[in-house]
């Protein structure tokens, strides 16, 4: 049996932030689907960025993977008017 290893990019839609304060986060995290369905959750997610979101926000939390197919991330507002969204890109390394 061959094992899929290496570093890949996973991309998905961002999450919604309620405007009003710096530091607000998504009520529901964004689910990012891996490009390949890994046979396990033995992978590391790093270097996430958000592009095209409404207002200034960043990817603030990357949840530990529990499935080989997807993981979740949160966005955090850097301005009181930020509402999130956009597209999230993350680097995924399967061991």
Question: What does the buried/exposed string (b/e) look like for 11-50 if buried means 16 or more CB atoms within 10 Å of the residue's CB?
Answer: ebebbebeeeeeebbbeebbebebeeebeeeebebeebeb
pTM confidence score: 0.89
pLDDT interval class at 2 (50, 70, 90): low
Residue 1 has pLDDT above 60, yes or no: no
Distances (CA, A) of 74 to 4, 5, 95: 27, 26, 24
Domain of 68 in residue numbering reads as: 7-94
Report the CATH number that the domain containing residue 22 is assigned in CATH: 2.60.40
Percent of the chain with pLDDT over 90: 82
- Residue 2 resides in a domain: no
**Considering the domain boundaries, does residue 1 fall inside one?**
no
**In this predicted model, what pLDDT tens digit does every residue of 18-42 receive, in sequence order?**
999 999 999 999 999 999 888 899 9
3-state secondary structure of 55: coil
In a domain, 52, yes or no: yes
Residues 75-80 have a mean pLDDT of: 96
**For position 5, what pLDDT does the model report?**
83
Average pLDDT over residues 45-53: 95
Map residue 40 onto helix, strand or coil: coil
- Number of domains, the chain: 1
């Amino acid at each position: 049996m061959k094992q899929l290893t290496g570093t890949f990019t996973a991309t998905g839609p961002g999450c919604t932030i309620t405007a009003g304060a710096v530091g607000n986060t998504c009520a529901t995290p964004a689910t990012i689907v891996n490009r390949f369905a890994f046979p396990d959750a033995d992978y590391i997610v790093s270097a996430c960025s958000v592009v095209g979101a409404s207002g200034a926000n960043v990817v603030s939390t990357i949840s530990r993977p529990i499935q080989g197919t997807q993981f979740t991330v949160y966005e955090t507002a850097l301005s009181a008017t930020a509402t999130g969204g956009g597209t999230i890109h993350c680097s995924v390394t399967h061991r």
